Structure 1
Amino acid sequence: MKKSKILIGVAMIAVAGFFTIAADHIDAPAIAGGSSDITDIYGFQAQDTDNIVFVANVQGLMSPANTSTAVFDENVLYEFNIDNNSDAIEDLVIQAIARDGKMYFFGPTAPSQAGLNSTIVSTAEINSVDITEYGSNAIVETNNGMRFFAGPRDDPFFMDFVRYTQIVTPGDDDGDGMEEGAFLPAGTGDGFASDTFAGTNVLSIVVELPKDMVGSGDSVNIWVESKRKQ
């Protein structure tokens, strides 16, 4: 594979034992609607409390009809970057790239180089999983204490975008640029929030691995990049 250049999308979270998310649903103009768009990343403790789970969701706001034909772009490298010494530079990477109906995973391993350009670390341990088809039971592969999944899933992110727009739109009476009121509680019916993303899907890349594979200490920082082959 050629060296991949030009950072297409980035999302970042800090994991410190709590469920944490970062969200971006096609609001970056350069990548809106593209196969490189990262919608969310998640990091949380696994059911096995010695493990941690990393999730990257891409290609958001897909209808069920569009999901049935959606595929991972084989020219895009998805990279989980792990900073385990708080210097904001990746110490480890987990790379994922699709080929012929499978998602191949490399790492965790030290990157070939830090920064915006990446090459696949071919010396890293390689794992793969068949990409689950829409409407099928999840295919999960396990190897050396790690578990892997790739495929379509319902978008778990909840947001009442209409209410958000009402709050941030200028034009209220006191001149502070904020619509009077607050976010509504979750629920159904009048007076409750409405999930703008209900019924839409994403493509998910999931890695579960032992915590000691990502380093020691109280926390790690992770961010996800999607990089298109040039």
Structure 2
Amino acid sequence: MAHHVSGLGISPTSMDPRSHITDLYVFQKPGDVSKTILAVDVNPTSPITDDAVDHESVYELGVDTDGDAVTDIAFRVRFSPVRDNGQTASVQLATGRDAAADLDAGDTILADAPVTFGSEPQVTADGGFRFFAGLRSDPFFADPVGATDKFQWTGKDFFADKNVFGIVLEVPNSALGPNPRVGVWARVLVPHDGRLVQGDRAGRPGIDNNFNQDDDDKRVWNQQEPSHDRERFLGKFTHVFEHAGHPADRAAALAESLLPDLLTYDYTSGEGFPNGRNLTDDVINMGIAQLSGGAVPHDGLRPHTDLLADFPYLGNPHQHG
């Protein structure tokens, strides 16, 4: 379910779980309507170690400001190698389409930010931005065992005791551009044949896993940008909705509503999914209801209770023996 099982092993550029995205969250900062929280979780097998993120990859949050599914603003996070039980990160901001397309363009807005290896979050702040990176409790909640058994729910949240590597950025809304309605997506650029290539991507929850039916589709999907989604995948997404019982015209309209795969967000609103995505949004049941036309009962699961009230909001990591 969601993005937790997509991408891995589909191609040489997606073999490393440290470069694999589990979920993307975008939401209005609680108590401050002038700020937005951007969070991308990676590495669904995150251990309580200092080796949960890849220092050779680039972790990027792209913002489309004008509705054409092309990145106009990019936040790029790079990590240092681990040295003496410590690691740092830098955050680069590139504005303008040309700069966003150039991996070496942009200004460093946060430098030498410590990565958190323990439970107590280490937060770096500068110029209206705040940043956190480190192991966290996975906020995603779902019953994938029940889902694969024809929605015979088990009542067990598979992710209740799982960890991820969380990358969380607090930004002024002004950094997302003057138009409050934007599209956000995340990608990981990984080293391959001497250059950086896109190895994984995420926008709305559950898209790749639930709509791409074979390895070839998953490989193409994860290595392309959202601007190509409709031309290459609209027919295939429509077929999924038709197979679920929707008439052709309704199936086409639903598929069009999901593509291009960007997490649409109006930063003047804290409403939650499909306006961005809060950590507590019940996205799996929403998606199943859309796909099934409301025929499948709720799985009975609820948001995790270990979320923090303040930045970085993701709960402390689970300590496994």
- Give yes or no for the alignment of 1:27 onto 2:6: yes
Which of 77, 84, 103 is residue 96 of structure 1 equivalent to?
77
Shift of 1:212: 1.4
Pick which of 204-213 and 216-225 moved more: 216-225
- Give yes or no for the alignment of 1:119 onto 2:103: yes
Which of 156, 175, 179 is residue 194 of structure 1 equivalent to?
156
Secondary structure of 2:147's aligned partner: helix
Provide the rounded CA distance (Å) in 2 between the counterparts of 1:84 and 1:183.
41
Q: TM-score, normalised by structure 1?
A: 0.72
Secondary structure of 1:23's aligned partner: coil
Give 1:6-155 correspondences, 5 Å limit: 23-28=2-7, 29-30=10-11, 31=14, 34-47=17-30, 48-62=32-46, 66-100=47-81, 101-110=87-96, 112=98, 118-121=102-105, 123-128=106-111, 129-133=113-117, 135-155=118-138
- Structure 2 residue runs of 5 or longer lacking an equivalent are 82-86, 196-321
Q: Higher strand share goes to which structure?
A: 1
Provide the rounded CA distance (Å) in 2 between the counterparts of 1:211 and 1:56.
18
Question: Quick one: which amino acid aligns to residue 157 of structure 1?
Answer: F
Quick one: higher RCO (CA 8 Å, sep 6+), 1 or 2?
1
Shift of 1:33: 5.0
- Partner of 2:296 in structure 1? none
In angstroms, what is the RMSD of aligned CA positions?
Answer: 2.1
Q: Higher helix share goes to which structure?
A: 2
C-alpha change, 1:108 and 1:50, in structure 2 (3 Å) is: farther
Secondary structure of 1:202's aligned partner: strand
- Structure 1 residue runs of 5 or longer lacking an equivalent are 1-21, 168-181, 185-191
Contact 2:37–2:169 (Cα < 8 Å) also in 1: yes
Provide the rounded CA distance (Å) in 2 between the counterparts of 1:32 and 1:26.
12
How much identity, in percent, do the aligned residues show?
A: 28
Provide the rounded CA distance (Å) in 2 between the counterparts of 1:50 and 1:114.
23
C-alpha change, 1:150 and 1:111, in structure 2 (3 Å) is: farther
Question: Quick one: which amino acid aligns to residue 110 of structure 1?
Answer: G
Provide the rounded CA distance (Å) in 2 between the counterparts of 1:27 and 1:74.
22
Secondary structure of 1:162's aligned partner: helix
Question: Quick one: which amino acid aligns to residue 87 of structure 1?
Answer: D
Q: TM-score, normalised by structure 2?
A: 0.52
- Give yes or no for the alignment of 1:219 onto 2:202: no
